[in-house]
């Protein structure tokens, strides 16, 4: 047996935590390794990059006006920002 670390298990554990709640191993994984996870720019929650984050686009079709100042927002924050924008 090797000292293989099960990153899938770590990633499952860190999902939906806020960035400041992560331990050193989890932060290292998120900051320095290619994972499917990313943090929301507004609330710092860790979510799935592809399915649970909105990404700011740089073309007219993909640019979200409500995301000004953010690169990535989780579903919840995006909905809130979008509501603020349309008032
Ligand atoms: Zn958020």
The pLDDT score that the predictor gives to residue 85 is 78
Cβ-proximal residues to 2 (8 Å cutoff; 6+ apart), any chain: none
Cα–ligand 1 centroid distance for 72 (angstroms): 8
Handedness of CA 26, 33, 17, 84 (dihedral sign): positive
15 Cα–ligand 1 center, Å: 13
Alpha carbon of 46 to ligand 1 centroid (Å) = 9
Tell me the CA–centroid distance for residue 81 and ligand 1, in Å: 10
Q: What is the pLDDT of residue 4?
A: 66
Beta carbons of 24 and 15 less than 8 angstroms apart: no
Average pLDDT of the chain to the nearest whole number: 92
- Banded pLDDT at 79 (limits 50, 70, 90): very high
Rounded Cα gap, residues 38 and 31, in angstroms: 9
* CA atoms of 2 and 48, how far apart (whole Å): 28
20 Cα to the center of ligand 1, angstroms: 14
Q: What is the pTM of this model?
A: 0.86
Q: Which residue has the tokens 């989780």?
A: 74
């Amino acid at each position: 047996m090797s000292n293989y670390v099960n990153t899938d298990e770590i990633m499952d554990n860190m999902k939906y935590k806020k960035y400041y709640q992560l331990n050193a191993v989890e932060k290292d994984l998120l900051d320095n390794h290619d994972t499917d996870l990313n943090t929301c720019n507004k609330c710092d929650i860790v979510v799935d990059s592809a399915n649970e984050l909105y990404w700011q686009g740089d073309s007219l079709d993909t640019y979200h006006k409500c995301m000004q100042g953010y690169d990535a927002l989780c579903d919840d924050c995006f909905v809130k920002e979008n509501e603020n924008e349309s008032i």
